[in-house]
């Protein structure tokens, strides 16, 4: 019989690439991870790993087992959801990961609604960049989280996760109120305010500028859009800002709508959609999004 915890380690090795990274993700020692994977090989009866010096790669059998691991782990999530449903009542911990703008706008109303409807839920919120949400879900640090993509920066679906649509927003170029800039192409000579390297916001700004034929002259890095808009108002540059972050721009900022969209989806581990706490949170978040008139018209 294959051990599900060991399957999860093998799946994460395929994703992270090294024993050390898997150990760090699970707060194990590298030696403990190696021992668990060796035990999984004995359970499977075939070699799952090839070792060349310090490098470890999956054998063809290991790759096959990783594909099946996603199915097995999803089935376990479904079983857990079924047991929670049978217990009758929405209770216990629910850990939510959301980007800062959502924490400031969508989350307060959703948390109040959840607390009112389900007083036995223990709600925990963490600010997380959407880029790190998939890892946080796989590593079970959160139960639901928000992931994003843009027209200019699509993101491949994660086989370990399911998602539902939450927001579909216009993206704006934020400029000073006296600026004559009308397009990203017009802003070639302007200083730019962009997200930190590695964030999706940073990638989007770079790609929009490159599509306009130039690389932006970056003056400031800021990840919170309140800070970004304050810098724009102070004449420190221009920035790309999605609609949810620009509902009430500060004085001194003019917003130029761009032909670009940002889509936010609520993500959760595959198989957990029927868990009562997850289902309740998805409904509350959808209600909160609709109150801002930013919900997708046609969920897919």
- Location of structure tokens 């223990």: 122
Please give the Cα distance from 75 to 55 (Å, whole number).
31
Residue 66 lies in a domain: yes
> Following CA atoms 46, 50, 51, 54 in sequence, which dihedral angle do they give, to the nearest 10 degrees?
-130
Candidates 81, 70, 71; CA nearest to 274 is 81
Q: Are residues 129 and 51 in the same domain?
A: no
- At 61 the pLDDT is 85
Residue 299 lies in a domain: no
- At 227 the pLDDT is 95
Which residues have a Cβ under 8 Å from the Cβ of 59 and sit 6 or more positions away? 46, 47, 48, 49, 50
- At 300 the pLDDT is 31
Residue 298 lies in a domain: no
Give the tokens for residue 66.
Answer: 């990783």
Q: Are residues 180 and 242 in the same domain?
A: yes
Please give the Cα distance from 56 to 173 (Å, whole number).
46
Residue 11 lies in a domain: yes
CATH code (residue 12): 1.10.10.10
The answer to whether residues 96 and 124 touch, using CB atoms and an 8 Å cutoff, is yes
Q: Are residues 128 and 277 in the same domain?
A: yes
Residue 246 lies in a domain: yes
Q: Are residues 203 and 257 in the same domain?
A: yes
Q: Are residues 173 and 253 in the same domain?
A: yes
Q: Are residues 180 and 248 in the same domain?
A: yes
How many domains is the chain partitioned into structurally?
3
Mark the ranges of the chain whose per-residue pLDDT is less than 50.
Answer: 297-300
Element (H, E) at 37: helix 30-44
Residue 206 lies in a domain: yes
Q: What is the pTM of this model?
A: 0.73
**How many residues make up the chain in this entry?**
300
- At 138 the pLDDT is 87
CATH code (residue 198): 3.40.190.10
The answer to whether residues 57 and 49 touch, using CB atoms and an 8 Å cutoff, is yes
Last residue of a domain, one of 68, 84, 100: 84
Q: Are residues 30 and 63 in the same domain?
A: yes
Residue 296 lies in a domain: no
Last residue of a domain, one of 84, 103, 125: 84
Q: Are residues 136 and 271 in the same domain?
A: yes
- At 235 the pLDDT is 96
Q: Are residues 224 and 246 in the same domain?
A: yes
Q: Are residues 100 and 247 in the same domain?
A: no
Residue 201: give the domain boundaries.
169-262
Element (H, E) at 254: strand 253-269
Question: Exposed/middle/buried for 196, CB within 10 Å: 0-12, 13-18, 19+?
Answer: exposed
Q: Are residues 178 and 237 in the same domain?
A: yes
> Over the stretch 104-120, which tens digit does the pLDDT of each residue have?
999 999 999 999 999 98
Residue 297 lies in a domain: no
Q: Are residues 241 and 273 in the same domain?
A: no
């Amino acid at each position: 019989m294959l051990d599900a915890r060991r399957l999860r380690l093998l799946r994460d090795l395929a994703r992270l690439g090294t024993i050390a990274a898997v150990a760090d993700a699970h707060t194990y020692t590298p030696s403990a991870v190696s021992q668990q994977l060796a035990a999984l090989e004995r359970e499977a009866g075939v070699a799952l790993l090839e070792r060349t010096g310090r490098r470890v790669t999956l054998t063809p059998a290991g790759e096959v087992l990783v594909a099946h691991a996603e199915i097995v782990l999803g089935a376990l999530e479904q079983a857990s959801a079924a047991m929670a449903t049978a217990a009758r009542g929405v209770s216990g911990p629910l850990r939510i990961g959301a980007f800062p703008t959502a924490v400031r706008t969508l989350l307060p109303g959703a948390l109040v609604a959840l607390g009112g409807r389900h007083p036995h839920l223990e709600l925990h919120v963490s600010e997380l960049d959407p880029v790190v949400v998939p890892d946080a879900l796989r590593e079970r640090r959160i139960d639901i989280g928000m992931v994003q993509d843009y027209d200019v920066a699509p993101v491949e679906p994660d086989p370990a996760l399911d998602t539902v649509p939450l927001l579909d927003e216009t993206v704006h170029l934020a400029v000073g109120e006296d600026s004559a800039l009308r397009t990203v192409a017009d802003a070639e000579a302007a200083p730019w305010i962009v997200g930190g390297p590695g964030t999706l916001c940073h990638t989007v700004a770079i790609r929009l500028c490159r599509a306009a034929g130039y690389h932006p002259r970056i003056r400031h890095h800021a990840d919170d859009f309140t800070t970004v808009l304050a810098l724009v108002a102070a004449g420190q540059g221009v920035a790309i800002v999605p609609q949810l972050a620009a509902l009430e721009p500060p004085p001194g900022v003019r917003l130029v709508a761009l032909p670009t969209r940002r889509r936010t989806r609520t993500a959760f581990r595959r198989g957990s959609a029927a868990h009562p706490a997850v289902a309740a949170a998805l409904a509350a978040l959808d209600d909160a999004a609709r109150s801002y008139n930013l919900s997708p018209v046609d969920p897919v």
